[in-house]
Amino acid sequence: MVVSSFVPGPQLLEELSQFFRLLSEPARLQLLCELKQGPCDVATLIESTGFSQSHISRQLGQLQRAGVVRCERDGVRLIYRVDDTLVDDLCELVQNRLRQRLQAQLAELQSV
């Protein structure tokens, strides 16, 4: 493991905190997972998630302002797509860490 000697300043810490707050909402994570499968319009996201149109639009707006998704017009439809692979990378890192922790707990329980 690489240890960094860099200590972020208050402004960077606030930016980091805001980014992780953005990802802490399960609905936004679910929308990102849906968009990871391919570009979608809001109607498709309503069907796949069961969320209301206003809820999806609000969450997509926040993700778009953060630069995580982008929107393109296709006639009268707006098509959303993931615009930053960082979220995928972070989710994979966290999933791997959770898997390792659960495997260690399972091994500990089996040894008892």
The token pair at 1 is 């493991």
The domain locations on the chain are 11-83
Burial classification of residue 54, based on how many CB atoms lie within 10 Å of its CB (0-12 exposed, 13-18 middle, 19 or more buried): exposed
pLDDT digits (tens, 9 = 90+) for 24-57: 999 999 999 899 899 999 999 999 999 999 999 9
Confirm if 24 and 10 have CB atoms less than 8 A apart: no
Q: 11-83 architecture in CATH?
A: Orthogonal Bundle (1.10)
Confirm if 81 and 69 have CB atoms less than 8 A apart: yes
pLDDT digits (tens, 9 = 90+) for 97-106: 999 999 999 9
- State residue 54's pLDDT score: 96
- State residue 3's pLDDT score: 65
- State residue 87's pLDDT score: 83
Residues with Cβ within 8 Å of 74's Cβ and at least 6 positions away in sequence, in order, are 41
Residue with tokens 């989710």: 91
Residue with tokens 């609905």: 27
